[in-house]
A and B are shown apart, each in its own frame.
Chain A
Amino acid sequence: MSLKIHQDHSRFKAIVRGKIKANLRKYVQKGEMLGKKGKDAISIPIPFIDIPRFKYGHKEQGGVGQGDGEVGQSLGPGQQQPGDGHQAGQGEGEHALEVDVTLDELAQILGEELQLPHIERRHNEKIVTQRIRYTGINTTGPESLRHFKRTFKQALKRQIATGTYDARNPVIIPTREDRRYRSYKLQDLPETNAVIIYMMDVSGSMGDEQKEIVRIESFWLDTWLRHQYKGLEARYIIHDAVAREVDRETFFHTRESGGTMISSAYKLCRDIIQADYPKSAWNIYPFHFSDGDNWSADDTRQCIEMLRNDILPSVNQFAYGQVESPYGSGQFIKDLREAVGAQQNVALSEIADKDAIYNSIKDFLGKGR
């Protein structure tokens, strides 16, 4: 019996996967699914995996309910499909089906669909984390870890050994000495570590729409890199004329009005790398997003110098995404292209609007570095 349903189950999952793939471009542009993110899974609404039928519209239906309340009293907008009350169990659902997909699976789908190459890890140094495994048996321990079967076995042994076991009345009563407990061992797990350093221009010219694009794009970058590396860290830097490190929440919701000095961010990025992420042990991914406006040609020169001398030599890939805004001149990407565009571990991408996110992800991740 179990076999049969598991076949159907995996078939269902394959279909869901196919549907996600077919609609991936649409999902990639959508910000709202990010809001539904759980710890490591995400809900994706899938149209018409629900079997279509001739049926009434949701709002047409209405029906009979039971309970207190005046005529005219609201039953609430959040009321999920009150329409199917008397048909409970008929499998009637109004909404497009929502399925849970793990982020890891989503990353796989993304990789297949965008034909992303797997990342070549620069470092295979093993950095070790520990995990608890319940492997052994102990004579002491907390009651919550008591091993029922082993305890009774022990009691049985004792009773047989002491001759108090009676096969006609096989009652076994464990004593304190019979109790056995599960015990754990710490297990070493090798891991390859990586860090993403996000940088974003939050000066006045970067509007909400631009930031939304960055937010969506960084979600997908995160998802992919997390799929490639088990222990992924993320750091966030915002900058206008000065740069500072912030948490994720602040990163996406700060708006400043000052000017823009990109070099401040690169400097901070460099310092973070030097302080916390020795290049010998870490795979490092700086991503920088701005609208391409910089304070001065001089500052841009400083940026390029820092990239050449400090950042590029120590990172797997440096990525710059330029989000189009009505205020920006868009000059920065041209400067970068000229100066470091030919370098293997540089990825540059222009993102005109949400539609462009899909291809931009490919720009960033397509090199497999």
Chain B
Amino acid sequence: MPKSLTPRLAALNEEILGHAREFGLDFFETIFEVVTYDEMNMVASYGGFPNRYPHWRWGMEYEQLSKGYEYGLSKIYELVINNDPCYAYLLESNADVDQKLVMAHVYGHCDFFKNNFSFRHTNRRMIDEMANHATRVRRWIDKIGVEKVEDFIDKALSLENLIDQHAPHIRRNPDPKRAEDEAKSNERVEGFKVNREYMRGFINPSEFLDSQRKKVEEEKQKAKKFPERPQRDVLFFLLEHAPLEQWEADILGILRDEAYYFAPQGQTKIMNEGWASYWHSTIMTRRALKDDEIIDYADRHSGTMSTRPGSLNPYKLGIELWRDIEDRWNKGRFGKEWDECDDLRARSTWDKKLGAGREKIFEVRKHYNDITFIDTFLTAEFALEQKLFVYGFNDKRNSWEILDREFRKVKAKLLQGLTNFGQPIIEVVDGNHENRSELLLAHKHDGQDLKGDYARETLRCLQALWRRPVNIVTRYDGKGVMLRYDGQNHSEKKVDL
């Protein structure tokens, strides 16, 4: 069971907390708990939370984490939950210098959670919410049976990423207009109110009723052309329109809630990790490090910052970009004059001694997400200095290779990878496809094809919720294709786009 801080750790925390405040970091109260390695793995398997709904994939996560540790491949240093108060975990066996580093890092994250706009709509009582979710799912399991519930969760998880990642916040209430319309149409079908029964035939002649009925039917047909506009939040669409039983809708709603809670963390990975790294580095090197801790600190820090060819380390890219912004705003390397200067020597010695860097990065951490962060602040000089490149797969040589170092391509590729988390954008186009209540999705193709076997398996899951045939229009090798699963068979046909 997690323990609270030992007096020694509490003293270290007091110190680091003081430094963090002094530097102007602003965070909710942060509670550290001390855990053993096994406990750390458990909490990490639950996404940082002490309590989640029962599901085998947490067990899978746990298996992988424990194994990674056993084989000495990975070790989790830091875990922190976006919540008010923030919760973070310290590894019991760590040395003081590690604990200080983690604390400083955590305060960076907590500051980011509290202040970055992407998190404004997240539930700050998510620990309680997750526990409630767990209780609700457990109750359904008691009622419906573990097999059925787990099977449904498996299918719903397959669709978990089909939310509107960049929606400002989660939409919760179904359209109230719909209910109103329904009530009205019932009224019309029954005809005008009749006080004396013998008058009925005169007030509501059957032709009149028939024509009313027909009208309502037509309107319903028209209304069935839904959604009116393509809808990115596929989960919400399913919640509103799929023939789900109460327990299924409840669970799907839970998963959607959690997906929206985690979405901002995905959208600010580079900024957030970079910010936390910037602050652990600043606090440690300027304040908290003791002489005899320097080697260990340097070892830990450089481990976090290490890069491999063929992958991007968000910690490294993030911290460098934050430092670059600070440096530029300190020296006044921005604005019209700077942009238009093409004298290389002048540029290299440019320093207007503005000293506005610190202020600037605090402002940036408030109003940007990874996409706008990269788009606004990643400069050609920075890309060159950081040795960024685009890589891709060469079929002929059957290997990954460096394709390009040109700035614009690097930036475009980075932004592409960040859009929608680097996942395909999928929309509901029609919930009554071909007037047969089939579901039609569309993949907004941006040059990358879907992974075929995964797409087919996902269609299966979708069909299980929609209960009628499901289709998705996408593109393979440049040609339009509609994949279909009717509950029994997969099929494919060409379509013109």
Contact = CB atoms under 8 A, between A and B. Distances in A.
A136 interface: no
A2 B399 contact: no
Given A13-B59, A82-B311, A62 B42 contact: no
Interface in B106-128: none
Q: Give the dominant DSSP class at A's interface.
A: mixed
Contacts of B10: none
Interface string A2-35: 1011011111111100000000000000000000
Contacts of B314: 86, 88
Given A64-B413, A74-B401, A53 B391 contact: no
A66 B313 contact: yes
A69 B451 contact: no
B413 A1 contact: no
A97 B56 CA distance: 14
B88 interface: no
A63 B388 contact: no
A9 B443 CA distance: 35
A75 B391 contact: yes
A10 B2 CA distance: 22
B38 to A, nearest CB: 8
Interface in A69-120: 69-77, 79, 82, 84-91, 97, 99-100
Interface stretch (B246-254, B334-342, B453-461): B453-461
B51 interface: yes
Given A12-B56, A52-B454, A86-B270, A66 B387 contact: yes
Given A65-B309, A85-B311, A90-B421, A75 B45 contact: no
Contacts of B316: 66
B403 A62 contact: yes
A63 B59 contact: no
B386 A1 contact: no
Contacts of A64: 312, 388-391, 410, 413-414, 417
A67 interface: yes
B317 interface: yes
Contacts of A297: none
A356 B426 CA distance: 45
Contact of B422 (A61, A77, A79): A61
Contacts of A87: 266, 269, 417, 421-422
Given A1-B42, A62-B413, A82-B400, A55 B312 contact: no
Contacts of B402: 65, 69-73, 75
B393 interface: yes
A117 B154 CA distance: 35
Contact of B387 (A49, A67, A100): A67
A68 interface: yes
Nearest to B393: A59
A85 B413 CA distance: 13
Interface string A171-197: 000000000000000000000000000
A87 B457 CA distance: 22
Given A8-B54, A55-B424, A76-B399, A61 B60 contact: no
B162 interface: yes
A75 B309 contact: yes
Nearest to B266: A90
B69 interface: no
Q: Give the dominant DSSP class at B's interface.
A: mixed
Interface string A137-154: 000000000000000000
Q: Which of A55, A65, A79 has the most CB of B within 10 A?
A: A65
A91 B388 CA distance: 24
Interface residues of B, number: 85
A74 B43 CA distance: 38
B57 interface: yes
B58 interface: yes
Given A8-B56, A74-B400, A62 B312 contact: no
B475 to A, nearest CB: 11
A85 B313 contact: yes
A60 B448 contact: yes
Contacts of B424: 54-56
B359 interface: no
Given A55-B423, A86-B417, A90-B421, A62 B390 contact: yes
Contacts of A79: 309-310, 399-400
Given A54-B450, A54-B458, A71-B403, A5 B59 contact: yes
A170 interface: no
A82 B310 CA distance: 5
A12 B450 contact: no
Contacts of B158: 51-53
B296 interface: no
Nearest to A96: B453
B229 interface: no
Interface in B410-441: 410, 413-414, 417-418, 421-424, 426
Contact of B269 (A66, A82, A86): A86
B403 A63 contact: no
A77 B313 contact: no
B29 interface: no
A308 interface: no
Q: Which of A2, A48, A87 has the most CB of B within 10 A?
A: A87
A236 to B, nearest CB: 32
B92 interface: no
A57 interface: yes
A58 interface: yes
Interface string B313-344: 11011000000000000000000000000000
A99 B63 CA distance: 9
Contact of A57 (B2, B309, B405, B448): B448
B166 interface: no
Interface in B380-409: 386-395, 397-405
B335 to A, nearest CB: 27
B279 interface: no
Q: Which of B150, B310, B401, B461 has the most CB of A within 10 A?
A: B310
A72 B62 contact: no
B26 interface: no
Contacts of B452: 57
Contacts of A55: 161, 423-424, 450-451, 454
Contacts of A91: 61
A48 B155 CA distance: 12
A54 B455 contact: yes
B312 A74 contact: no
Contacts of B193: none
A82 B422 contact: no
A213 B42 CA distance: 43
Contact of B398 (A1, A51, A68, A77): A77
Across chains A and B, which 7 residue pairs bring their CB atoms closest together, nearest first? A12-B59, A82-B310, A52-B457, A85-B311, A62-B392, A8-B59, A9-B59
Given A7-B54, A51-B160, A86-B418, 18 more contacts: A2-B38, A2-B39, A11-B54, A11-B55, A12-B60, A51-B157, A52-B457, A54-B423, A56-B423, A62-B403, A63-B312, A63-B413, A70-B402, A73-B401, A75-B401, A82-B400, A86-B312, A86-B414
25 contacts: A1-B39, A1-B42, A4-B52, A7-B59, A10-B59, A12-B57, A12-B62, A13-B63, A52-B158, A52-B453, A54-B472, A56-B448, A62-B391, A62-B413, A63-B311, A63-B390, A63-B413, A64-B388, A64-B390, A65-B307, A65-B312, A75-B391, A85-B313, A86-B418, A99-B63
Interface of B: 1-2, 38-39, 42-43, 45-46, 50-52, 54-63, 67, 150, 154, 157-162, 266, 269-270, 307-314, 316-317, 386-395, 397-405, 410, 413-414, 417-418, 421-424, 426, 443, 448-455, 457-458, 461, 472
